A and B are shown apart, each in its own frame.
Chain A
């Protein structure tokens, strides 16, 4: 089998969202022609603009290999990681040009850089660390491969904010924790080493948390790591109802019970 190389254009048109709220009255789109390089990603085209055309272009990036989650953007009508999106793939999808926008529904600080404050505050609010009641082991908390499989999918989250930006409940409910924080709560509730499951359920079993999820599945569509957040959030709902029916007192423990 030989690899069939498709005929590619000599250069590709890149359209980028530009907006500096301190200076500009309204956002605009700047267009650049970027010379074609085989294997080029959308992040590469942004680098080309930054280095050769316009040094004032602002965007976030770090690892360039899809594990840091910094470069999540709204590329050609979908949430994608700029570093993992091949321009060739966009062409194969039928797009003639590359169009890069900041994550929707988040405040823009400059160009493609969005304000993720709410996202991080929500993540902090769910106490995303292990809480154990037993004495600390000498080395580490051991976990069997079977138990680890329960949380495998959710550990793979890179905190890029795509799900948060795609969720209608986040758009309309400023208090809502969002799919990421809820999924991460489930990651600890389902973790067999953690012993504060019901305290955690108490944090999210309210209208600010799991019950505001209307199973719209936008987060599942947006996630660049193919995580199914809805499965996790529905698990939270089920476990919360169970704990409430049992009259669990831990549900009312509050955030302080989870502090280290």
Chain B
């Protein structure tokens, strides 16, 4: 097999190779990844918080009191939004696996994203009194 004498991979840093070509599909995937990782992070957090009951109901209640703070309510609201987007885009990806809408992937993304925005405002309405009330 041919081997060049010397070669180096071209990376983002090499004289503005930042890809402007990244379009809808890439951002849909990136957002899917980020929200997915957030949910994994939350899962561990959830297990740690719930396991406080091992030290008795008093310790559990103490932890729950801390979680009533507005900053945690705001976090929960963002989590709900992330779950909604991840779920909707997940349906989009499942459709691709079944072979539906591959050529209309951009329209499907915007539909999922629009519904996720609606979901965000719904979550904001529900969590508003907990965050600011």
B97 touches A108 (CB 8 A): no
- B102: A residues at CB distance < 8 A: 215, 228, 230-231, 234
A216 touches B7 (CB 8 A): no
A17-B8 Cα distance, complex, nearest whole Å: 13
A108 touches B105 (CB 8 A): no
B105 touches A117 (CB 8 A): no
B96 touches A230 (CB 8 A): yes
Of the candidates A21, A78, A102, A117, which one forms a contact with B2 in the assembled complex, judged by CB atoms under 8 Å apart?
A117
A215 touches B105 (CB 8 A): yes
- A107: B residues at CB distance < 8 A: 4, 7-10
Quick one: closest B residue to A162, CB to CB?
A: B21
A50-B14 Cα distance, complex, nearest whole Å: 23
SS of A interface (majority): mixed
A106-B99 Cα distance, complex, nearest whole Å: 31
Q: A228-B102, A234-B102 are in contact. Are A218 and B10 (CB under 8 A)?
A: no
B8 touches A19 (CB 8 A): yes
Interface size on B, residues (CB 8 A): 31
Q: Smallest distance from the beta carbon of B75 to chain A beta carbons, Å?
A: 27
Q: Smallest distance from the beta carbon of B65 to chain A beta carbons, Å?
A: 41
Quick one: closest A residue to B14, CB to CB?
A: A27
B5 touches A22 (CB 8 A): yes
Q: Which of B25, B29, B97 has the most CB of A within 10 A?
A: B25
- B19: A residues at CB distance < 8 A: 77, 104, 166
Q: Smallest distance from the beta carbon of A234 to chain B beta carbons, Å?
A: 6
Q: Is B23 an interface residue (CB 8 A)?
A: yes
Task: Count A/B pairs, Cβ under 8 Å.
Answer: 100
- B20: A residues at CB distance < 8 A: 77-78
Q: Is B48 an interface residue (CB 8 A)?
A: no
Q: Smallest distance from the beta carbon of B53 to chain A beta carbons, Å?
A: 38
Q: Smallest distance from the beta carbon of B110 to chain A beta carbons, Å?
A: 14
Q: A168-B26, A217-B25 are in contact. Are A22 and B8 (CB under 8 A)?
A: no
- B1: A residues at CB distance < 8 A: 117, 121
- B54: A residues at CB distance < 8 A: none
- A166: B residues at CB distance < 8 A: 19, 21
Of the candidates A109, A214, A228, A235, which one forms a contact with B4 in the assembled complex, judged by CB atoms under 8 Å apart?
A109
Q: Is B15 an interface residue (CB 8 A)?
A: yes
Q: A101-B17, A121-B1 are in contact. Are A108 and B25 (CB under 8 A)?
A: no
Q: List 30 A-B contacts (CB under 8 A).
A: A17-B15, A26-B14, A28-B15, A78-B21, A101-B15, A103-B10, A104-B19, A105-B9, A105-B10, A107-B4, A107-B7, A107-B10, A109-B4, A109-B6, A109-B7, A114-B10, A117-B3, A168-B26, A168-B29, A214-B29, A215-B96, A215-B105, A218-B21, A218-B26, A221-B23, A228-B102, A230-B96, A231-B102, A234-B96, A238-B98
* A168-B26, A231-B102 given; 10 more Cβ-contact pairs under 8 Å: A22-B5, A74-B17, A107-B10, A109-B4, A109-B7, A166-B21, A217-B25, A221-B23, A230-B102, A234-B102
A interface residues, Cβ below 8 angstroms from B: 17, 19, 21-22, 26-29, 74, 77-79, 101-109, 114-115, 117, 121, 166, 168, 214-218, 220-222, 228, 230-231, 234-235, 237-238
